[in-house]
Structure 1
Amino acid sequence: MLADLRAFFIQLKRERGNQFMKRMYGLIVLLAGFLIFAFFYGGSSSEKTDASTKSKTIKTYKVGILQLMTQPALDQIHKGIVAGLKAEGFKVGTNLKIDYQNAQGDQSNLQTMSSKFANENDDLTVGIATPAAQALAKAANGKTPVILAGITDPVGGGLIKSNAVPGGNITGTSGESPLKSQLNLIKKILPKAKTLGIIYTTSDHGGTYNAKKMQKIAAAAGYTVKMYTISSTNDMQTVAEKMASEVQVVYAPQDNDVASAMKTLVSVTNKAKVPVFPAVDTMVKDGRVATLSVNQFNLGKTSGVIAGKVLKGKKTSTYPLTFITKGEMTVNTTEAKLLGIKLPASVLHEAKTKGEIFK
């Protein structure tokens, strides 16, 4: 009896051991399968998650560009700004969104568009022409950075405290015309001309500033200077006719309304055989004789580079204004021939090698 009972317990122990081992084998197989699945599929999923996370961390900056009106010089500045931002690593469609607005010379549009930028919390805004920059500055109210793109006399325009230390949320470039060099060019091409007419817009701060500064320089050089003003492009025909009958040569400063009405001006002066020397290279292409001027695209590009550095953390308050005053020779040989003007060989050579010739 005892032997039978002992045999029974031995058999029971063996059966339980076999069941335990089967369960252990099953657990090991299940664990191995899980590890294999995690290795082949879990790693791939993790990599996708990491890539997705990285793509989501790329910040898209929003920049508002406000242009006063459509005219060749300002259009070139706009293109340069985009190129400058790209040079600093900010590319449209990748990490940059540009909201470009053109006020078409309307003051109410400037105010509305500037307020739009402020309400949408743009990371930064850029003003092309003094009125545009002034509207942006007012709307930003010392908060959003404002970059100046070729603004004449920004201190006098109430935009910054000083050129060396702007002191607020505004910095950028000033593209003041090389007036003395431009007057010397007029002397070289027309040595016998003694009466100089200067035309500008009364409401354009930059135009007024440049016109009056050139008036002093020309008077000191011995010219008889006559000043003519327009309040809008509608005045150009009448004022140009009067001016063409009283002067030997005309200087057109960096003035937005004058630039916009340049075709009207030239149509009048050409009839009177009075040459026009503009402040900006883009005006020469449209029918003026010649100029030594700041390249407007390069001016805009410098502003774009500054904008990029500010987006990266550079402080506008201590970022000195950048002045670009070196002129490039630009001539229009067709216009010169039309007016019976023989361009000096030195002027043509400089335009050919360092500037541009329009035919």
Structure 2
Amino acid sequence: MKRMYTLIAALIIFLGVAFFTTQNASKTTSSNKEKIPTVGILQLVTHPALDQIHQGFVAGLKEYGYVPGKNIKIDFQNAQGDQSNLKTMSTKFANENVDLVAGIATPAAQALANSVSKSTPVILAGITDPAGSGLVKSDKHPGGNVTGTSGESPLQKQLELLKQIVPNAKTIGIIYTSSDHGGAYNAKKFAKLCQQAGVNYKLYTISSTNDMQQVAEQMTSQVDAVYAPQDNGVASAMKTLVNVANQAKIPVIPSADTMVKDGGLASYAISQKELGKVAGEMAAQVLRGRKTATFPVAYVTKGTYVINQKEAKLLGITLPNEIVKQAEAKGEVFK
């Protein structure tokens, strides 16, 4: 009888230990799941340049071992150009207490910075003039919870290319979106370079993509070439701009490789995907503990020549042989 009591007691102890072990294992598993970071990505609108930045960002995270669906969760939101969507989506990230957020395009980054807590890192993905748009104190010393990559265009190189391709152009039209900080910054900086080089120019603005047809028709009747800066509104309406310009036999020299693909004649451009990749790598470092306040804004400065041979043929323009060779060797050629 005593032996039976002993066996029963041993069984009770065994079951108790098993129960608590299972409970602890369950808690450990639950804890491990909680450790998987969540990253919120907010993109202003769909167009090829921003889409490439998004792809690059995910690739940058993977470079540091963060694989979506495996050890990191990515919540991607696209505002489709709607300001109210930006507010709603950034507030959603704030309420969900995500571990890090990334803004693709200046308005998206600003919405995030204004919505999430100061303890939530905000990564800029290809933002023009971060300090001027109030996102960081300075590029070298961001000073808060915001840092990332800046999409500064190689404007001097682009002006030199335009002069090479259209040497007889008397007036260059520069078009940008009045509400796009980055677009206005790039357009006015390009205009200043034109002024310094003794090149005549005229500035044209659109308030939204709906204005492009009318403004482009006016512009192409007054200029000999068009410069399209890195501007979300212009990039979104690039095909409309090109259609109008083609009818007037006016070449469009854009700032981004994706805009050449959409009908621009040629560009010396930095890779939008590389901008996103560097931002993704920065995000990974921040997730591992690096402080945004002392993490300098990064720039991708080296570009490549990108040409559209189909467009050149349509306009009857012979691209400089040197540019063609460099595009074929290191850049990109659209046919």
Q: Same fold (TM over 0.5)?
A: yes
Match of 2:218 among 236, 242, 246: 242
Report whether the alignment pairs 1:160 with 2:136.
yes
CA distance in 2, matches of 1:288, 1:239: 17
Distance 1:57 1:184 in 2: 55
Amino acid at match of 2:32: T
Indicate how the Cα distance of structure 1 residues 134 and 333 shifts in structure 2: closer, same or farther if over 3 A, else same. same
The equivalent of 1:4 in structure 2 is none
2:73 maps to what in 1? 97
SS at match of 2:69: coil
CA displacement, residues 150-184 of structure 1 (integer Å, 9 cap, x when unaligned): 10000010000011110000000001000000011
2:185 is aligned with 1:209: yes
Partner of 1:147: 123
Partner of 2:97: 121
Q: Is residue 176 of structure 1 aligned with residue 152 of structure 2? A: yes
Asked whether 1:278 is paired with 2:254, we answer yes
Q: 2:32 aligns to what?
A: 57
Could you say what secondary structure the match of 1:66 adopts? strand
Q: Taking structure 1 as reference, are residues 51 and 352 closer, same or farther at Cα in structure 2, changes over 3 Å only?
A: farther
Deviation at 1:143, TM superposition (A): 2.4
Q: Which residue of the partner structure matches residue 260 of structure 1?
A: 236
After TM superposition, give the deviation of residue 302 of structure 1 in Å: 0.4
Residue 133 of structure 1 deviates from its aligned partner by 0.2
Q: Tell whether the 8 Å contact from 1:194 to 1:222 is kept in structure 2 after alignment.
A: no
Residue segments in structure 1 that go unaligned for 5+ positions in a row: 1-25
- Superimposed CA distance per residue, residues 199-236 of structure 1 (whole angstroms, 9 cap, x where no aligned partner): 00100000000000000001111211100001111111
Hey, what does 1:69 align to over in structure 2? 45
Output the TM-score relative to the length of structure 1: 0.86
Cα deviation, residue 324, structure 1: 1.4
What's the offset of the Cα at 1:279? 0.6
Partner residue, 1:315? 291
Aligned AA (2:188) = K
Q: Is the contact made by 1:201 and 1:258 (CA closer than 8 Å) also made in structure 2?
A: yes
Overall identity of the aligned pairs, in %: 62
Q: Distance in 2 between matches of 1:315 and 1:100?
A: 23
Kindly provide the CA deviation profile for residues 267-288 of structure 1, in whole angstroms up to 9, marking residues without a partner as x.
1110000000001000101111
Q: What's the offset of the Cα at 1:54?
A: 6.9
What's the CA shift for 1:55?
8.6
Equivalent in the alignment of 1:109: 85
Q: 2: CA distance between counterparts of 1:184 and 1:50?
A: 65
After TM superposition, give the deviation of residue 52 of structure 1 in Å: 9.5
Question: With structure 2 as the length reference, what TM-score do the two structures score?
Answer: 0.92
- Aligned partner letter, 1:288: G
Structure 2 unaligned blocks of 5 or more? none
Give 1:189's aligned amino acid: I
Q: When the two structures are aligned, how many residues end up with a matched partner?
A: 327
Contact (CA 8 Å) 2:153, 2:270: kept in 1 or not? yes
| Rounded Cα–Cα distance in structure 1 between residues aligned with 2:26 and 2:157 | 57
Contact 2:274 2:300 in 1 (8 A): no
Taking the TM superposition and a 5 Å limit, the aligned residue runs for 1:26-45 are none
For the 8 Å contact 2:42–2:102, the answer to whether it is kept is yes
Aligned Cα root-mean-square deviation (Å): 2.4
Report the Cα offset of residue 192 of structure 1.
Answer: 1.5
